[in-house]
Copies of this chain bind each other. A is one copy, B any other.
Amino acid sequence: MTTPSRLDSARRFAKAHGFDLDAPLRVGGNYQPLTEHAGIAHLSGQVPRIGDTVVATGCVGESVSLAQARQAAEVSTLRLLAILHQSGGLDRVVQVLKLGVFVQSAAGFTQQSEVADAASDLLVAVFGAAGTHARTSVGVFQLPKDAAVELDLAVSVTPSA
């Protein structure tokens, strides 16, 4: 249900990370990767997992470099894209509304925005103008699985087919 352009673009980024947009996304607990109501989809927070492996663990600014954290933010974004792709297709997205970026930060690390920029750039690369969004980036003390980053998203969507 997705026209080639957005999906092709997402696939190119996914391939560069060894990420499969069609692989089933397991959810551990009693929750959903996505809920949808009245044209708004809320996506659950995603750590940068490829298959069973969290690809970046540790604190950014310490054991994880800014460059590694930006790559991790791209992988988390790919997971958000995979959820959208598997929930009716990337073409259902009318507008990305709000991106939340949580960076597991070492003391003194203040470049959370620069980490978030990697995710923002990927969203705009895939969705174009529909991919620009409001954003909140903060540095947190710990993340699930010791992940370096976690991202969540709200988007407006057309009705599912």
Contact = CB atoms under 8 A, between A and B. Distances in A.
Query: This chain: how many copies in the complex?
Result: 3
A24 interface: no
A99 to B, nearest CB: 7
A95 to B, nearest CB: 6
A133 to B, nearest CB: 5
B105 A142 contact: yes
A35 to B, nearest CB: 5
Interface residues of A, number: 59
Given A40-B37, A44-B135, A142 B108 contact: yes
Contact of A31 (B43, B110, B120): B120
Interface in A62-84: none
A112 B154 CA distance: 22
Nearest to A27: B135
B98 A144 contact: no
A150 B132 CA distance: 20
Interface in A34-92: 34-35, 37-40, 42-45
B110 A144 contact: yes
28 contacts: A28-B113, A29-B117, A30-B121, A33-B134, A34-B134, A35-B95, A35-B98, A37-B39, A37-B40, A38-B156, A42-B97, A42-B134, A44-B135, A44-B136, A45-B135, A100-B136, A102-B136, A106-B142, A109-B142, A110-B145, A112-B142, A112-B143, A113-B145, A138-B142, A138-B150, A139-B143, A140-B140, A140-B141
